[in-house]
Amino acid sequence: MADIQQLNKIASQVRRDIVRQVSFATCGHPGGSLGCADYLTALYFEIMEHDKGFNMKGKGEDMFFLSNGHISPLFYSVLARSGYFPVEELATFRKLNSRLQGHPATHEGLPGVRVASGSLGQGLSVACGVALSKRLEKDDKTVYVLTGDGELQEGQVWEAIMFAAHHKLDNIITAVDWNGQQIDGPTKKIMALGDLNAKWTSFGWEVLEIDGNNMEDIIKTVNQAKSTRGNGKPKVILMKTVMGFGVDYMMHTHAWHGKAPNAEQTETALAQLEETMGDYPYSV
Amino acid sequence: MSSIESFSKLDQIIPTGKKSTRDGFGAGLLEIGTQNDQVVALCADLIGSLKMQPFIDKYPERFFQVGIAEANMMGIAAGLATTGKIPYTGTFANFSTGRVYDQIRQSIAYSHKNVKICASHAGLSLGEDGATHQILEDLGMMKMLPGMTVINPCDYNQTKAATIAIAEHYGPVYLRFGRPGWPVFIPEGTKFEIGKALHLAEGSDVSIFATGHLVWNAVEAAKELAKQGISCEVINIHTIKPLDDEAILDSVRKTKCVVSCEEHQRHGGLGDSIAQLLARKMPAPMEYVAVNDSFGESGSPVDLLNKYGLGVQDVVQAVQAVLKRK
């Protein structure tokens, strides 16, 4: 059984890492990072079988692909806290000569990253390729993908959705960060996504809906998605999250999608997030 | 001018028949698929055009049909490569480059994925389908991507050999070929070495550097010029990137002038790569045989090549022009 309390503690430290990375870099994307902190914590610390020694090919491992690359502070924190690279390196986020690029990249050889992302809409396609390969190799592990909800406005995502269903890639579990916000405002106003559940369902996917900021709900639902392997359907978890979750003044607004808090705002944010695993030092 | 004896090698270049370069790709894919079980293939609804059926018949489990969704195909290829497969993507050159540039840039080139982007129906010689399909900008787009290898073989045999050779090279490759039946003149079994130019004829008056279908036009032009007493060195630059700097400089050191030939825009193609090299290392008079800032149109391949300045006579005139500038 998952230790929910322990996972929540890890998620709290991950949220501190997000705020501190973005604050120290004076730029980055805290909103979506905070909103998805619970999901990625659950994947890396409970659900996935993965090797922190990092092998690019990921044979015999569950593999995760971040399609909405701008929430890199979250990805980096989770990778560092689960042992892929030293947590001290988080202080280099977005700095010159860092492996922690503004958006995730393989170019600098950061362990844990398998493909660059940032230009939206590409992650699910890559995951389809990995899923095909796992099937070819009779590797029964799962391929996880996280996409934004605004990202679903990219046409390529729907090409991949169609492909995965056609090729019966039931070894893919996609999660959509359904926070209803994008840079220019609420998705409803910018480009309404419509009935997401009906859309994915009609494309042949098995659809699950959860509260993406509830650890218990996440663990239960991902395990449920895993248990239906063999039914020939890829799975999507439509994950209702609150952008900026955990920091009161960042919640329920798109204002903190891509903006760093100042020193005072950083202190206010950190006061709301328990330090559970030790902060890394602010030095490059 | 040189003596006629120096042209003997040129006279030995005799076609054995006509076959398309895309047929060379299909044959090469089947062979490399047999040699290397990590090779997989993808196609965006153009199996027949890309001649991929023999591979599919033999290795159905290693072929993936993606439908008319080229952006998705590039991403899937990146995913397959991540796990150690060697994916060959197949569609027209237009849809292999411009349509999916960002996917190639981020998921393949920047991520250094071992994907082989195989692009047929490049250039004007696609023919009757017209300018929507006749891409003349692809070499430029692809060579600008850091780490991308760019290859444009000249006949059936060379395309087959290149298709096989690129599996041994780790890293993204753009392999460009075409639709029409075209003279087969590179001897079967000629070694294909990425980045190594192929000398077709020794000469002393002018260096002709040609790629793709225009290599044959360069050979025909050189034969005609030989009758006028002009000695052309004909070098096949099948690899546009990395460019064989040494072969180019060695030739120009001798001939002191250059003509480049390609089925591509003048801007951004092989000629520009050569000009950049010469500007830095060995400035020399140069003429381009290339399309001059224009889209194509419908027509037969040879008529189109002639109309847009890529015919045999265009090569002849370019040589005559550059010799006057020596």
Tokens (6 digits) for A81: 């806290």
Specify the pairing of strand B181-183 against strand A185-186: unpaired
Q: Least CB-CB distance to B107: which of A126, A132, A159? A: A126
Locate all alpha helices (DSSP H) within chain B, ordered by sequence.
Answer: 8-11, 21-35, 47-50, 53-58, 70-82, 93-96, 101-103, 138-143, 156-165, 214-227, 245-255, 270-281, 301-307, 312-324
Residues of B designated as active site: 70
Asked if the model's pLDDT at residue B7 lies above 80, the reply is no
| Common-topology check for domains B4-16+190-324 and B18-183 | yes
Q: Least CB-CB distance to B83: which of A58, A116, A117? A: A58
State how far the alpha carbon of A107 is from the alpha carbons of A23, A223, B111, B142, B158, in Å: 25, 33, 6, 18, 33
Asked if the model's pLDDT at residue B120 lies above 90, the reply is yes
pLDDT tens-place string over residues A227-280:
999 999 999 999 999 999 999 999 988 899 999 999 999 999 999 999 999 999
pLDDT of residue A284: 58
What CATH superfamily is the domain A4-271? Thiamin diphosphate (ThDP)-binding fold, Pyr/PP domains (3.40.50.970)
Contact A133 B107 (CB under 8 A): no
What distance in Å separates the CA atoms of residue B3 and residue A133, rounded to the nearest whole number? 60
Average pLDDT over chain B reads 96
Give me the mean pLDDT over the B141-170 stretch.
98
Tokens (6 digits) for A1: 């059984």
B71 touches chain A (CB under 8 A): yes
What distance in Å separates the CA atoms of residue B39 and residue A155, rounded to the nearest whole number? 28
Asked if the model's pLDDT at residue B6 lies above 50, the reply is no
Asked if the model's pLDDT at residue B111 lies above 50, the reply is yes
Query: Where are the domains positioned within chain B?
Result: 4-16+190-324, 18-183
Closest residue by Cα to residue B7 from B187, B216, B232, B261: B232
**Residue A74 parent element (H or E):** helix A72-81
pLDDT of residue B2: 40
pLDDT tens-place string over residues B181-231:
999 999 999 999 999 999 999 999 999 999 999 999 999 999 999 999 999
pLDDT of residue B258: 98
Instruction: Give the 3-state secondary structure of B260-277.
Output: EEEEEECCCCHHHHHHHH
DSSP 8-state symbol, B142:
H
Contact A132 B81 (CB under 8 A): no
B66 touches chain A (CB under 8 A): yes
Asked if the model's pLDDT at residue A37 lies above 60, the reply is yes
What values do phi and psi take at B261, rounded to 5?
A: -135, 125
B219 and B200 Cβ atoms separated by less than 8 Å: yes
Give me the mean pLDDT over the A133-152 stretch.
98
Bridge partners (DSSP) listed for residue A178:
A240
What distance in Å separates the CA atoms of residue A28 and residue A25, rounded to the nearest whole number? 7
CA-nearest residue to A60 within chain B is B83
Percentage with pLDDT > 90 across chain A: 97
What distance in Å separates the CA atoms of residue B20 and residue B153, rounded to the nearest whole number? 11
Quickly state the pLDDT bin for B5 (edges 50, 70, 90). very low
Kindly give, in sequence order, each residue whose CB lies less than 8 Å from that of residue A226, ignoring residues fewer than 6 positions away. A47, A142, A173
| Residues of A contacting chain B (CB within 8 angstroms) | 56-59, 105-107, 114-119, 121-134, 136-137, 155-156, 159-160, 162-163, 166-167
Selected residue of B76, B91, B99 to mutate for chain A interface (largest A Cβ count, 10 A): B76
**Residue A236 parent element (H or E):** strand A235-240
Q: In 3-state terms, what secondary structure has residue B172?
A: coil
pLDDT tens-place string over residues A7-19:
999 999 999 999 9
What distance in Å separates the CA atoms of residue B20 and residue B86, rounded to the nearest whole number? 24
Give me the mean pLDDT over the B245-267 stretch.
98
ipTM over 0.95: yes
B170 touches chain A (CB under 8 A): no
pLDDT of residue A253: 87
Percentage with pLDDT > 70 across chain B: 98
Asked if the model's pLDDT at residue B85 lies above 80, the reply is yes
Q: DSSP E strands: which ranges in A149-200?
A: 172-178, 181-182, 185-186
Other beta carbons within 10 angstroms of residue B176's beta carbon come to 31
Contact A58 B103 (CB under 8 A): no
Other beta carbons within 10 angstroms of residue A202's beta carbon come to 11
Asked if the model's pLDDT at residue B4 lies above 90, the reply is no
For the B4-16+190-324 domain, the top CATH level (class) is alpha beta
pLDDT of residue B3: 38
Give me the mean pLDDT over the A130-147 stretch.
98
What distance in Å separates the CA atoms of residue B251 and residue B257, rounded to the nearest whole number? 9
Quickly state the pLDDT bin for A57 (edges 50, 70, 90). very high
Inter-chain CB pairs, A–B, below 8 Å:
115
Closest residue by Cα to residue A81 from A284, A277, A283, A239: A277
**For residue A276, which amino acid is it?**
T
Contact A127 B103 (CB under 8 A): no
pLDDT of residue A283: 74
B301 touches chain A (CB under 8 A): no
Q: pTM value? A: 0.97
Kindly give, in sequence order, each residue whose CB lies less than 8 Å from that of residue A237, ignoring residues fewer than 6 positions away. A173, A174, A175, A176, A208, A209, A210, A221, A222, A225
Asked if the model's pLDDT at residue B8 lies above 70, the reply is no
Q: A49 vs chain B: nearest CA distance in angstroms?
A: 16
CATH ID of B18-183, from 1.10.10.60, 3.40.50.620, 3.40.50.800, 3.40.50.970: 3.40.50.970
Q: Which residue's entry shows tokens 């990202």?
A: A151
State how far the alpha carbon of A243 is from the alpha carbons of A35, A148, A239, in Å: 5, 11, 12
pLDDT tens-place string over residues B272-297:
999 999 999 999 999 999 999 999 99
Specify the pairing of strand A206-211 against strand A235-240: parallel
